[in-house]
Amino acid sequence: MKRLSGLDASFLYLETPSSYMHVAGLMILDPATAPVQWSFDELRDMYAARLHLAPPFRRRLVEVPFGVHHPVWIEDPDFDLDFHLHHIAVPQPGGARQLATLAEEIVARPLDRRKPLWESWIIEGLEHGYIAVLTKTHHAAIDGVSGNEMTVAMLDVEPEGRDVGADTWTPEHVPNEAELLAYAMRSLATQPVKLVGSLTRTGSMALNLTRKNRASDIAPPPAPFTAPRTSWNHALSPHRSYAMTTLSLDDAKVVKREFGTTLNDVVMAMCASSLRSYLDGRGERVAQDLVAMVPMSVRSDDQSGTGGNRISSMLASLATTIDDPVERLLAISAGMRSAKDQQNAIGASTLQDWAEFAAPAVAGRAARAYARYRLADRHRPIFNLTISNVPGPPFPLYSAGARMVANYPMGPVNDGAGLNITVLSYMDQLDFGVVTCRELIPDAWQIADGLGAALEELKKRAEPGPPKKQSKSKRQAKVVLVHGAWHGPWCWQGVVDALEAQGVDVSAVELPLTSYDDDVAAARKAIKAAGKGAVVCGHSYGGMVVSRAASGLPVGRVVYLTAFMTDEGEAPMQHMEAHPSPMMGAIRTDGGVLTVDPTMLHEAFYEDSDPEVVVEIEKLLRPMPLGDTWVVDVEPAWRQAPSTYIVCTNDKAISEGAQRAMAGRADEVVEWDTDHSPFLTRPADIADLLAKHV
C-alpha cells in the first residue's frame, strides 16, 4: 500500500465529465520487421511477460473513507490483463485521418477507477500494413517522462527482444476502512510540521522572487490570469479533436544552431506561428501575446523509473504579436530564459509541497462545480494552451519484433484552455500530437499542418547566405573552453555553435592529456592568444587546468562547470574522498598515472548518455600520466579574477557535496538540475552564461 502524493492525487480531483486527466500515446508499428508472424496474441504475451517493468499497470486505486486523505495504490489482487487490452480495426482506407478520428473517440472515454488506470487498444487495418497501439494511462500514475520511461521499458532495441528477467510481483489484499483510516491518520499527523516547512520555504521564495524581478532589467514571465481570451479559452465539452504530424528533428536543430536557441525554443516558435495562422484564418484578432503553460520535469536520476509525477510548470509568452518569425523565436528564447530563472527561484518542489495539503473531498467537489457552472467562461484565462516537449530515444525501438515508426502523444486539455500540443522526439524525427476540444477547435489538423509550415519558414531563414565579415575591432572578446579528462573539443560543439550565433569569438582547446603540465601549457597558450578580458571555462579536470593556466593572465572571468576549483597545493582527490561519487569506483591513481575501468565508468557515469557520445569517450579511456605535480602550484586564477561555479546536482562524477564545497569559493554560484555533461544537455544555457560575462 502506497499513498499517492498530493500532486498525483490532484489529477484525480481535477477530473470532471468534460475534462479527463489521462494521457495517451499512439504508437505506429511496422510488423514487417518481426522475426515471426506478428499477431495480437504475440503482443499480449509480450505485455504479460513485462508487467513487472511497468509497475503502475498492476496498481489499483483505493479511496480513503470520507475523503480525509489522498487515496492509496495497492497491487491489485484481481488484476486481469485481458480487461485492459482491446483489439479493433480502423475504418478504411486506414489513413492518418481515419486513425485520428478513432483515437479521439477512444481517448474521450474515462478510465474505470475500480481497475488499474490504463488500457491499450491494438488497432489493425492501417495503410502500409502498419499496426497502431493506443495506450491510455491516468496522469495520477505517470507524467510525460515516467510515461516515456515505461514505454521504452516495454519495448526492445532489437527485433529479437531481450531477457526481461523473472516476475516476482506479489498482490496485496484490499485494505478495509479501519486500515485506510489508520494509515491516513498516521500520515496526517505529520502535516503540521510539513506545513510549517512549506510556509517558511514559500515565504523566503516569494521575497527572493520579488527582489529578483525588481532588480532584473528583463521583463518577468507572464502571470496567471493575464492571458488574452481566444476562441478555445472557454469551458470544455467531453468531445475531442485530434491530429498528428511528424517533422524533421535535424531541421529543427539547424534552426536551433543558427539562431543560438534551444530545441524547445524552436518548438515553441513553431507552435506560435501555427496559432497565428489559425487565428488569422478565422479572422480572429488577438492584440496580446498568447501565453503557454510549459510542464517541466524535476525528476532526478535517483527517481528514474519510480513512476508518478515529478513535474513543475512555468508560464511563457509565445510573442505572437511579433510578425517576423526569427524575431519571434529570439523573443520566445529570451522569455523562456526568464521563465526558467523565475522557476529556479520558485524551486522545483514548491508545487509538490502545496499539493500535499489539498483536501480530497473539497478539491473534487470544487473541480466539478467549476465545470458544471462553466466558470472558465467568466474569468480571464489562466493561460491559453499547454505545450509539452518530451525527449525520446535516438535509436529504433521494437514491440514484439515490430519496428516503432512513430509515437504520437495525446495530452489532456483543461477547462479554459482547450488546446494541448505535445511533441515527442524519436530517432531523427519530432512526433507532434495536437488535442483540442471539438466544440472550441473543430479541426485540429489546421494547427498540426501549420507546425510543418512554421518549421519550413524558420529553416529557410536559417539557411546560410554569403559569409559575413566582421572587423576585429567589432568582435567581442574571446571565450576559451577547456574540456575534462577523457573528453575532447567535440564535447563543446553545441556551446561553440550557440556562442558563434551571438557573435562571440570562441575557441575550444584540445588538451594533449599526456600530463598535467602539458595540459596546462596547451590551455595557457590559448588563453594568451585570446587576450585581455577573455572568459575562460573549464569542465571537470579542466577546472584545475584553468586554475593554473590562467594564473597571472588578464582574464575577465574564470568559470568552473561542475569542475575542480582547487586551491594552491590542493589535490582534487581530497574533495573526491571527502565527498565520494559513483565514479570513484571507476578511477585509480598510481604514481601520478590516472587509469579508469571502462566497464565501471560506463555503468556509474555514462549509462544514460547518447550511445554516440559513449563511443567517443571510450576511445579516450587510456591511462593519463599526470605527473607528480597534479596540484595547482601557483596562486589559482580564481583568486585573481572574478569567478563563477556551476553546480550540477545530478553529477555522478563530482558529487554535489564536493561541488558545493568548492563553489563556496566563487563570486557567483549557479545551480542546474543536470548531470556531468551539461555541455550536451544545456549548451545554450552555458553559452548564455558565458556571453553574459564577455
- Mean pLDDT for the stretch of residues 2-7: 84
Asked whether residue 299 carries a pLDDT value surpassing 80, the answer given is no
CATH number, residue 661: 3.40.50.1820
Which of 122, 154, 183 is where one domain is finished?
183
Residues 300 and 321 in one domain: yes
- Mean pLDDT for the stretch of residues 539-563: 92
pTM of this prediction? Answer: 0.66
For residues 533 and 505, the answer to whether their CB atoms sit within 8 Å is: no
| Rounded-to-integer distance, Cα 221 and Cα 226, Å | 11
Mean residue pLDDT across the chain: 84
Residue keyed to cell 478504411? 92
Residues 440 and 516 in one domain: no
CATH number, residue 278: 3.30.559.30
Residues 570 and 448 in one domain: no
DSSP structure class, residue 485:
T
pLDDT at 439: 96
Instruction: Domain of residue 622: give its range.
Output: 472-693
* Cell numbers given for 372: 458544471
In a domain, 646, yes or no: yes
pLDDT at 627: 47
| Rounded-to-integer distance, Cα 690 and Cα 198, Å | 34
In a domain, 9, yes or no: yes
pLDDT at 474: 40
CATH number, residue 153: 3.30.559.10
Residue keyed to cell 589559482? 636
- Mean pLDDT for the stretch of residues 237-262: 92
Which of 174-178, 210-214, 392-396 bottoms out in mean pLDDT, i.e. has the lowest?
210-214
Which of 462, 489, 504 is where one domain is finished?
462
| Rounded-to-integer distance, Cα 691 and Cα 238, Å | 49
Residues 34 and 135 in one domain: yes
Structural domain total, the chain: 3
In what order do the strands lie in the sheet containing 402-410?
85-89, 118-124, 131-138, 22-30, 402-410, 398-399
Asked whether residue 366 carries a pLDDT value surpassing 50, the answer given is yes
pLDDT at 321: 96
| Rounded-to-integer distance, Cα 299 and Cα 293, Å | 18
For residues 658 and 574, the answer to whether their CB atoms sit within 8 Å is: no
Which of 105-109, 207-211, 455-459, 615-619 bottoms out in mean pLDDT, i.e. has the lowest?
615-619
* Cell numbers given for 255: 534552426
Asked whether residue 339 carries a pLDDT value surpassing 90, the answer given is no
Beta strands in 496-572 (DSSP E): 504-509, 535-540, 557-563
pLDDT at 68: 82
In a domain, 101, yes or no: yes
3-state helix, strand, coil in the chain (%, to 5): 40, 20, 35
Residues 284 and 333 in one domain: yes
Residue 473: pLDDT band with limits 50, 70, 90: very low
In a domain, 23, yes or no: yes
Residues 230 and 313 in one domain: yes
What are the pLDDT digits (tens) for 341-362? Answer: 766 655 555 555 545 555 565 6
Residues 534 and 621 in one domain: yes
Asked whether residue 383 carries a pLDDT value surpassing 80, the answer given is yes
In a domain, 206, yes or no: no
**Dihedral angle computed from the Cα positions of residues 75, 79, 84 and 85, in that order, rounded to the nearest 10 degrees:** 120
Residues 504 and 601 in one domain: yes
Residues 9 and 135 in one domain: yes
In a domain, 214, yes or no: no
Residue 392: pLDDT band with limits 50, 70, 90: confident
Q: Which of 331, 321, 336, 320 has its CA nearest to residue 271?
A: 320
| Rounded-to-integer distance, Cα 87 and Cα 47, Å | 14
What are the pLDDT digits (tens) for 665-693? Answer: 888 899 998 877 788 788 999 999 999 88
What are the pLDDT digits (tens) for 599-617? Answer: 555 555 555 455 555 555 5
Residues 575 and 476 in one domain: yes
In a domain, 215, yes or no: no
| Rounded-to-integer distance, Cα 415 and Cα 231, Å | 13
> Which residues are part of the catalytic machinery?
139
In a domain, 193, yes or no: no
Which of 443, 462, 481 is where one domain is finished?
462
Residues 399 and 262 in one domain: yes
Residues 451 and 489 in one domain: no
What are the phi and psi torsion angles at 411 (to 5°)?
-90, 165
